[in-house]
Amino acid sequence: MRRLRVRLAAVVVASIALPVTPAMAGQPAGCADDSVGLTVEEQRLDKAAPQEILRRSGFGSVAPRFARALCGADSYGQARKAVALHGQRLWQRAVERAQGRGPAAGDLSRLDDRPLYWARLGMTAALRQWDPGFELTDAQRTELMDELERGSRGHDAIRFPGGAESGTEKGLKRVLVTGFDPFTLDEDIRISNPSGAGALALDGTVVRTDAGRVRIETAMFPVRWDDFTRGTVERALRPHLPRVDMFTTVSQGRPGRFDIERHNGAWRGTFPDNENVSASGTVPVSDPSTQPQWTSTTLPYQDVTGTPTGRFPVQDNTEVVEIPAGGSEPVTRPDGPTEGSTAREGGGGDYLSNEIAYRATLLRDRLGLDVPGGHVHTPVLEFGAGNTDPETGEITDPDFVRNRQDIVDQVRSIIRVAAEH
């Protein structure tokens, strides 16, 4: 998820109260308060492309079914059970669809990550506008929203085989992989994110390598600065990093190439997130007094870049942008940061892909773990040559499907190569 090197003015829009019908939010009449404004992300759900994606994937019934379950809840405890159940079901359904298990309603490619994204937003909109028949505090609604996010992103479903304290079972390596939601949706509402598709395709799978079997577990993350500020990455990864043999965060990066990002910087840029919020400054983490300006990959980047893994070239990217020690202006360094410099862009830029890589590798270092880990940028997922106009284009085409499949297959191959070394 490498943003272009542009500086956009900060736009801070957290939630706008617009008239939203219960049907749009997936909420049965009589159980919704449509005076409650939806978020910027949720408001996009009413556009034609998201509705077509939901209809053509069979995921259009997810939010209404969830809303009916909420309406049937007579207490906070019942509501929490419903939220946990439906959130986890959505994740599992998306994983099973991507991996070809069970019937797939609709004609969209099974590997499409967008039904999960838009169905989840329908559920969060329903929960936001839900008007229960009992007293529900703001804190309780926030807890329900957090439960829904964790369940529908696979955070609660990361389960490696073997004992909780005993490393891996014999002959099996454990690898944790993360992906992201689609983003830049105001530029093209049809956008998919191949890192998300990869997370769905790989979750719970076993890859065979020359060094043995590799079990992969995955999770998805939002493209929202606030969630990262509140520690969603650390909460999701901390229980599992001490037990894995490798981890990699994955996001969409540059056209036509993969990158293994060598260095990650402690800096956020100004590019807006999926809520159209900007948040520039030092990456906010716990114990900032011990926070380094840079972290580094421990993935075997030489082996990965030196081994054919698929259609796209894989680069060892060492470029960063820094303010040198004693300096005041940013300087691009092709060979990594210099001693005592201040970060302005990691190899993955200054957007959320750099930040998830920074947070995950910083967590690795703070836990004192000697484990391979870092960030992989995928190529940009592109529509076919005759389908590039967001205003008139189709939501899918044969080139789009083939490009996504090739990228996901190569992510799997990169993980296999990295896990062998």
pLDDT in tens, 49-87: 999 999 999 999 999 999 999 999 999 999 999 999 999
What pLDDT score does 139 carry?
Answer: 98
What pLDDT score does 58 carry?
Answer: 96
DSSP designation for 210: T
- The whole-chain average pLDDT of the chain stands at 92
Question: What's the CA gap between 315 and 213, in Å, rounded?
Answer: 26
pLDDT reading at 230 higher than 50? yes
Helix (H) or strand (E) holding 57: helix 48-57
Tell me the domain boundaries of the chain.
22-155, 161-420
pLDDT bucket at 165, cuts 50 / 70 / 90: very low
User: Which conformational region is residue 263 in: left (phi greater than 0), alpha (psi within -120 to 50 degrees), or beta?
Assistant: beta
Average pLDDT over residues 175-187: 98
Question: What's the CA gap between 418 and 144, in Å, rounded?
Answer: 38
Beta-carbon contacts of 49 under 8 Å, excluding residues fewer than 6 positions away, are 189, 190, 395
In this structure, what token pair is assigned to residue 127?
């929960």
Pick the closest to residue 119 from 60, 79, 65, 69 (CA basis): 60
In this structure, what token pair is assigned to residue 226?
């606030």
User: Which conformational region is residue 204 in: left (phi greater than 0), alpha (psi within -120 to 50 degrees), or beta?
Assistant: left
In this structure, what token pair is assigned to residue 294?
């840079």
pLDDT reading at 151 higher than 80? yes
Task: Fill in the amino acid letter for 389.
Answer: D
What pLDDT score does 11 carry?
Answer: 34
Sheet (strand 320-323) strand order: 331-333, 320-323, 342-345
Pick the closest to residue 196 from 79, 78, 328, 94 (CA basis): 94
Residue 138, burial from CB neighbour count under 10 angstroms (0-12, 13-18, 19+): exposed
Say what the pTM is: 0.92
Contact 204, 91 (CB under 8 A): no
Contact 100, 50 (CB under 8 A): no
Pick the closest to residue 207 from 237, 179, 158, 174 (CA basis): 174
Sequential DSSP letters for 240-252: TGGG-SEEEEEEE
Helix (H) or strand (E) holding 358: helix 352-366
- Residue-wise pLDDT for 375-407, tens only, equals 999 999 999 999 999 999 999 999 999 999 999
Question: What's the CA gap between 401 and 378, in Å, rounded?
Answer: 15
Task: Say whether 72 sits in a helix, a strand or coil.
Answer: coil
Task: Fill in the amino acid letter for 393.
Answer: G
CA angle (59 as vertex; 57, 63 as ends), nearest 5: 160
pLDDT reading at 282 higher than 80? yes
In this structure, what token pair is assigned to residue 81?
């059970």
**Long-range interactions of 147-150: CB distance < 8 A, separation 24+:** 147/80, 147/83, 147/84, 147/87, 148/83, 148/86, 148/87, 148/120, 148/123, 148/124, 149/87, 149/120, 149/124, 149/222, 149/227, 149/232, 150/87, 150/236
Task: Say whether 5 sits in a helix, a strand or coil.
Answer: coil
pLDDT reading at 17 higher than 80? no
Average pLDDT over residues 21-25: 44
Pick the closest to residue 353 from 245, 271, 255, 411 (CA basis): 271
DSSP designation for 77: H
pLDDT bucket at 102, cuts 50 / 70 / 90: confident
Distance of CA 154 to the CA centre of its chain: 10
Give me the percent of the chain exceeding a pLDDT of 90.
89
Task: Say whether 30 sits in a helix, a strand or coil.
Answer: coil
What pLDDT score does 177 carry?
Answer: 98
- Residue-wise pLDDT for 306-356, tens only, equals 999 999 999 999 999 999 999 999 999 999 999 999 999 999 999 999 999
Residue 83, burial from CB neighbour count under 10 angstroms (0-12, 13-18, 19+): buried
What pLDDT score does 27 carry?
Answer: 54
What pLDDT score does 171 carry?
Answer: 78
What pLDDT score does 7 carry?
Answer: 29
pLDDT reading at 291 higher than 70? yes
Q: How far is CA 129 from CA 35, 71, 72, 105, 248, in A?
A: 8, 11, 15, 28, 36
What pLDDT score does 161 carry?
Answer: 87
Q: 76-98 vs 138-152: helix axis angle to the nearest 10?
A: 20
pLDDT bucket at 6, cuts 50 / 70 / 90: very low
> What homologous superfamily is domain 161-420 in, according to CATH?
Peptidase C15, pyroglutamyl peptidase I-like (3.40.630.20)
